[in-house]
Amino acid sequence: MEIFSDVVLLSRFQFALTVAYHFLFVPLSIGLGLILAINETRYFRTRDQKDAAAAQFWVKVFTATFAIGVATGITMEFSFGTNWANYSRFVGDIFGAPLAAEALFAFFLESVFLGVLLFGRKKVSPRFYMVSAWLVWFGSCLSALWILIANSWMQTPAGGVLNADGTEAVITDFFAAAFNPSIFARYTHTVDALLIMGAFCAIAVAGWYLLKGKHTEFAMKTMRIGAVVGIITSCLMIVFAHSSAVVVYEEQPTKLAMMEGMYDSEVPPLYAIGIVDEENQEVLAPFAIPGGTSFLATGTWDTEYPGLNQLAETEKYADMNVDELPVGVVFQSYHIMVAMYGLIMLTSILVLIFTFKGGKIAKMRWLQWLAVLSPIWPFIAIQTGWITAEVGRQPWVVYPSVTGPEGVELLTADGVSVSVSNWELLLTIALFIVVYLILLIGWCRVVGRFIKEGPVNPKAKGQVPMVATVAPGADGAASADNGDAAEAAADETPMPKSFAATEVKAVAEVFDGKDPLPPFAAAEEAKDASAANASTDQEGRE
Q: Which residues of 96-130 are buried (b: 16+ CB within 10 A; e: fewer)?
A: ebbbebbeeebbebbeebbebbeeebeebebeebb
Q: How far is Cα 241 from Cα 540, in angstroms, rounded to an integer?
A: 68
Amino acid identity for residue 219 in this structure: A
Mean of pLDDT values over 199-227: 94
Mean of pLDDT values over 147-166: 91
Nearest 5 degrees, angle CA 522-CA 524-CA 526? 70
Mean of pLDDT values over 286-291: 85
**H or E stretch at 275:** strand 275-277
pLDDT band at residue 295, thresholds of 50, 70 and 90?
A: confident
DSSP per residue, 29-50: HHHHHHHHHHHHHHHHHH--HH
Instruction: Give the global pTM.
Output: 0.82
pLDDT in the model for residue 459: 58
Query: For residue 395, is the peptide bond before it cis, meaning its omega torsion is within 30 degrees of 0?
Result: yes
Question: Which residues lie closer than 8 Å to 526 by C-beta, 6 or more apart?
Answer: 497, 498, 499, 501, 502
139 and 109 in contact (C-beta within 8 Å)? yes
Neighbours of 383 (CB within 10 A): 19
Q: How far is Cα 266 from Cα 36, in angstroms, rounded to an integer?
A: 48
Q: How far is Cα 14 from Cα 36, in angstroms, rounded to an integer?
A: 33
Count Cα atoms within 13 angstroms, Cβ side, for 201: 26
Mean of pLDDT values over 167-191: 92
User: Is residue 409 classed as helix, strand or coil in its secondary structure?
Assistant: coil
Mean pLDDT, the chain, as a whole number? 83
pLDDT band at residue 511, thresholds of 50, 70 and 90?
A: very low
Q: How far is Cα 23 from Cα 144, in angstroms, rounded to an integer?
A: 11
61 and 32 in contact (C-beta within 8 Å)? yes
Nearest alpha-carbon partner for 391 in 323, 433, 331, 336? 331
Neighbours of 302 (CB within 10 A): 10
pLDDT in the model for residue 285: 86
Nearest 5 degrees, angle CA 365-CA 368-CA 371? 155
244-253, 263-272, 297-306: lowest mean pLDDT where?
297-306
Count Cα atoms within 13 angstroms, Cβ side, for 519: 13
Q: Which residues pair with 161 in a beta bridge?
A: 170
Q: How far is Cα 531 from Cα 525, in angstroms, rounded to an integer?
A: 10
**H or E stretch at 194:** helix 183-212
Residue 519 clears pLDDT 80, i.e. is over it: no
